[in-house]
Structure 1
Amino acid sequence: MIALPPKPQRSLASIATIVAIATLISKIAGLVREQAIASKFGAGAGVDAFAYAYIVPGFLFILLGGINGPFHSAIITVLAKRTKEEAAPLIETVNTLVGGLLLILVAGMMLFAAPIVGFFAPGAPPEVQMLAVEQFRIMAPLGVLSVLIGIGFGTLNASDQYWLPAISPLLSSLTVILGALLLADYLGPAALAWGTLAGGILQWLAQIVAQSKAGMGKPRLRFDFNRPGVREIFSLMIPATVSSGMLLISLLISTQFASLIGVGVPAALQYAQRLFVMPLGILSNVILVPYMPIFSKLSAPENWPELKGRIRQSLIITAMSMMPIGALMSALALPIIRVLLERGEFTASNSQLVASILAVYGLGMFIYLARDVLVRVFYGLGDGKTPFKITLVGLGFHALFCYLFTSAFQAQGLAMATVGVNLFSLIALLWILNRRLGGLPWRTTAGPIVGLAIGSFLTGVVAWGTSQGYEALVTADGLLSYVGELATAGTAGMIVFILVVWQLKLPEVNVFLDRLRQKIPGLKSKL
């Protein structure tokens, strides 16, 4: 069979650049979305209900409809071996089969909405559960849209189209923003659900147009289930879906404990989580995308010495980028929330609660991404079972940590449990990888990371001290004052970190600067 595109393929660097820029735009839109929700609904019962209602539809939307999700990856793998003439009917057949199965699932979700919400939110008041059931039924069709969008992402990437898949989450953010600003006074919290559903519909419609123009299938029913490639797609997709499904259980555990703490906690947890993943989403693409093919190419035993060097390099770059951001996020959590969310219905007490959770998440930023880097190493070695087993064991620890930490620290304990589970996974992956590869370069890896951790700690201390000094000198409240505090304290902290990195003389700094020179025109001469 002949590989798909006749036109020249983009380089890895250009693809990564497209994805990074589009992801940045989408994340900015996502931030504006959170600001609109916070302004209209604060951190109360309406957003609590939305958090409960979004668990299953949102999980399906992210898992099945997301970039790097099981359908996206399976479609790319299979279509890379086929011509456009073969691809179009194959895509139409898979859409028909999977869309039909998900339609049955969605019908069941709508029928049993009340017990599903009750299971997710056992401690929520009855009025909050009623709001959640209403929103759950509105968003249930996302289950069908998610799989169609995931297949569409893979199809477009296979035809060398990357911009639309990466930028399409912007559509969902825009519809939620419009729903919150224009419909909230008429529909109440249900405006969030209708906006979310409208965003999913727009993403699918945009993909349909692009797919049709590329000759990669149209929205038609096709029942040729014995067509070559259908079974291959499912053989790749099903194990990945089961593995990723552990995320739903983890999210369920956190939400159940949040519902038991009190009204406003699920909403605060959702705000903190989304702000935490914004920088992670951008930087993870920049770090993971270039290293994934490298890990795969070095999987043979004779290449393991070089693989170990690449693992060291990727972990140090991860620490160099994520540790200072995490330190600043922890030290300046309150002014960050005041600047981004505190307006309208989002009160000062809401800011205190969300900031306390965000500060804990910031401490685990490096741990989260370093774990993801090591998972990609295992995938490169052709081993997806080990990360799955560690995730499975981690679910038990997650439930235990939630119980222990929420008993002592309430809402902040939920974030502590997440950081604790990620730390467990990171240590387990390192230990197994060390045994499998016959030893990792611990000395040359741990030294720089410890130095970066000390530098990040000093960054956080200086930023926090500067923030306190600013508040003592500038007594005025308001957005401009908070922005000034954030800018002053953040700059002071980053100056400290830059000085520490300069003293460490890490070769990874040159790797990072080289990437900047390649991606930013005119930077080479300045550096």
Structure 2
Amino acid sequence: MKERKVAGLLRSGAVVGAMTMISRVLGMVRDVMIASLLGAGGGADAFFVAFRIPNLLRRLFAEGAFNQAFVPVLSEYATKDDPRETRRLLDATAGSLAMVLTLITLVAVLLSPWLVWIFAPGFSSDAGKLALTSDMLRITFPYLLLISLTAFCSAVLNSWNRFAIPALTPVFLNLTMIAAVLWLSPRLEVPAMGLAWGVLAAGVIQLGFQLPFLGRLGLLPRPRPDFSHPGVRRILKLMGPALFGVSVAQINMLLNTILASFLVTGSVSWLYYSDRLVELPIGIFGVAIATVILPALSRRHASQSTEHFSRMLDWALRMVLIISLPAALAIFLLAEPLLVTLFHYGAMTDHDIEMTARSLRALAFGVIAYMLIKVLAPGFYARQDTRTPVRIGVIAMAANMAFNLVLVWPLAHAGLALATALAAYVNAGLLARGLLRQGVLVVQPGWRRFWLQVGGGCGLLGAGLWWLVPPLQQWLAWGVLERAGMMSAVIVASMAVYFAWLALTGMRLSHFRMRG
């Protein structure tokens, strides 16, 4: 078993961000092709629900609750420098996780119509859509088992500061689904079924990709279910509350899907496409920082380095704000041009673009909060405090339901998106207040100047986009090359203006170096 290296968080975050960017760009290509193939009709709605159910559970159990509970316990075992105990923990955890997920998968495949009814009850009024979604869910649900084991491998690799491989792994999901759109779907009577098979194949490929890298580190587990192992018991104890604490945004999106299933056909798809766009900056930057900071914070907590712990949290907050503020502003102002450039082809209509833009602007408002949650929640989980986030999560979820009931009637699917954004701010605000009250997060010097620098850059960026971006009719009249060229120019110019302002006002890359 190889020793862990101590890495610079900025460098590690850049590696994760770069690998994730490749995946997200391919994911956007995938979604463009799906939109062209299926548009926002009944087949698209059925596939997105069949894909969202295992994907939601993956984020809840694997990358959400399990990851936040497993990494701190694994870091503690590894810090004690006893390789045999660490191996026993890996074997017991892998075996227990595989056993539970296998049972869940078998039950879900057998009960797929009931699951669809629970997650999208509005489909019950359309027997064809309900049956199609159920059939696809039987194919897609085993993805939960495969991708959760992949997430286990990723957590181990991240804990040993091998961030690149886990960050690159989702590329194979996107490549496999692109292949399904190009090769399999055209050969099937129901094209959406090809995407379902693509999801299942992607799960096998992603797990197979990571196993050899664990083997090179001497960390490849021999799965042996052992729920009595002390480490497994602690993980299970921490997982329960973490289900709510770190995954409130996903639960809120589930509530949106349930309510959207009662709205007009296309509502589920409009929410999906807008969610995919806001996930781009969140996935590249927010997830990158969260990925590298959780094991680092866990190590600092294990070694009782409280001052470094607090400075690391402050560093993470500044990192995500530098990106999330201009990203949210740009997505809000460029909603229609972005959607036209990416999705206005094939079966995607002008009406679909208009409806998707409404929910995209609402979700863009929440980008800042979504990214803050990514770095605030690890401040609790690294200290193995799962109770505080769960209390906050319940409050945020209740707020989301209240916002939904108020906003869904006047704003339809856009109201659901806005409710999710507002609930995210409730969540982020309460997490920050909890860390401040506990003395875990201590505000470091320089925040006033930081706000002036970032605020000034956002002001310049917003003014430039408002005055210089061509009107919507021009984007609709252009062909794909003209749209892509203009959008690329707008994005590059905006980034250049923003970061030039930061540099002119004295912000330097060296200010953000932080050792893990």
TM-score by length of 1: 0.83
- Give the RMSD, CA atoms, in angstroms: 3.8
In structure 2, relative to structure 1, the CA distance for the partners of 1:82 and 1:41 (3 Å cut) is: farther
Tell me what 1:200 maps to. Answer: 203
**3-state SS in 2 of match to 1:344:** coil
Task: List runs of 5+ in structure 2 lacking aligned partners.
Answer: none
Contact 1:455 1:500 in 2 (8 A): yes
Stretch moving more, 234-243 or 401-410: 234-243
Q: Distance in 2 between matches of 1:96 and 1:303?
A: 34
Q: Distance in 1 between matches of 2:305 and 2:205?
A: 49
In structure 2, relative to structure 1, the CA distance for the partners of 1:92 and 1:480 (3 Å cut) is: same
Tell me what 1:370 maps to. Answer: 372
Contact 2:249 2:424 in 1 (8 A): no
Stretch moving more, 420-429 or 310-319: 310-319
What is the deviation of 1:263?
0.9
Q: Distance in 2 between matches of 1:310 and 1:210?
A: 28
Among 265, 270, 279, the residue aligned to 1:277 = 279
What is the deviation of 1:362?
2.0
Q: Distance in 2 between matches of 1:420 and 1:182?
A: 41
Deviation track 1:211-249 (CA, whole Å, cap 9, x = no partner) reads: 44544346x664566556443443444443454454553
Tell me what 1:60 maps to. Answer: 57
What is the deviation of 1:44?
1.7
What is the deviation of 1:158?
5.1
Contact 1:339 1:482 in 2 (8 A): yes
Structure with more contact order per residue of length (Cα contacts < 8 Å, sep ≥ 6): 2
Tell me what 1:110 maps to. Answer: 109
User: How many residue pairs get matched?
Assistant: 508
What is the deviation of 1:136?
0.9
Stretch moving more, 10-19 or 26-35: 10-19
**3-state SS in 1 of match to 2:2:** coil
Q: Distance in 2 between matches of 1:300 and 1:209?
A: 31
Tell me what 1:262 maps to. Answer: 264
Tell me what 1:22 maps to. Answer: 19
In structure 2, relative to structure 1, the CA distance for the partners of 1:406 and 1:228 (3 Å cut) is: closer
AA in 2 matched with 1:60: L
Stretch moving more, 77-86 or 39-48: 77-86
Are residues 1:388 and 2:386 paired?
no
Deviation track 1:470-526 (CA, whole Å, cap 9, x = no partner) reads: 966x995212332344245445645654576467x3x6x22x3555999xxxxxxxx
Are residues 1:49 and 2:46 paired?
yes
Q: Distance in 1 between matches of 2:440 and 2:104?
A: 47
Task: List runs of 5+ in structure 1 lacking aligned partners.
Answer: 519-527
Tell me what 1:165 maps to. Answer: 166
Contact 2:95 2:224 in 1 (8 A): yes
In structure 2, relative to structure 1, the CA distance for the partners of 1:409 and 1:294 (3 Å cut) is: same
AA in 1 matched with 2:151: G
**3-state SS in 2 of match to 1:343:** coil
Q: Distance in 1 between matches of 2:329 and 2:180?
A: 35
Tell me what 1:119 maps to. Answer: 118
Q: Distance in 2 between matches of 1:314 and 1:36?
A: 35
Q: Distance in 1 between matches of 2:187 and 2:89?
A: 44
**3-state SS in 2 of match to 1:355:** helix
Deviation track 1:136-162 (CA, whole Å, cap 9, x = no partner) reads: 111121232233223222344456644
What is the deviation of 1:434?
4.5
AA in 1 matched with 2:410: A
Contact 2:71 2:298 in 1 (8 A): no
Tell me what 2:152 maps to. Answer: 151
Deviation track 1:100-154 (CA, whole Å, cap 9, x = no partner) reads: 2222222221222112211222223332222211111111212322332232223
Contact 1:40 1:181 in 2 (8 A): no
Contact 2:326 2:458 in 1 (8 A): yes
Contact 1:334 1:351 in 2 (8 A): yes
What is the deviation of 1:57?
1.0
Tell me what 1:139 maps to. Answer: 140
Stretch moving more, 47-56 or 188-197: 47-56
Q: Distance in 2 between matches of 1:196 and 1:423?
A: 32
Tell me what 2:416 maps to. Answer: 414
Contact 2:72 2:383 in 1 (8 A): no
AA in 2 matched with 1:408: P
Q: Distance in 2 between matches of 1:74 and 1:171?
A: 28
Contact 2:309 2:440 in 1 (8 A): no
In structure 2, relative to structure 1, the CA distance for the partners of 1:442 and 1:98 (3 Å cut) is: closer
Q: Distance in 2 between matches of 1:99 and 1:286?
A: 26
**3-state SS in 2 of match to 1:69:** helix
What is the deviation of 1:291?
5.6
What is the deviation of 1:400?
1.3
AA in 1 matched with 2:211: I
Deviation track 1:67-86 (CA, whole Å, cap 9, x = no partner) reads: 88246526733652565555
Contact 1:76 1:154 in 2 (8 A): no
Stretch moving more, 412-421 or 97-106: 97-106
Tell me what 2:75 maps to. Answer: 77
AA in 2 matched with 1:102: L
Are residues 1:482 and 2:480 paired?
no
TM-score by length of 2: 0.84
In structure 2, relative to structure 1, the CA distance for the partners of 1:252 and 1:158 (3 Å cut) is: closer
Q: Distance in 2 between matches of 1:175 and 1:438?
A: 43
Contact 1:53 1:133 in 2 (8 A): yes
What is the deviation of 1:308?
7.1
Larger radius of gyration: 1
AA in 1 matched with 2:462: G
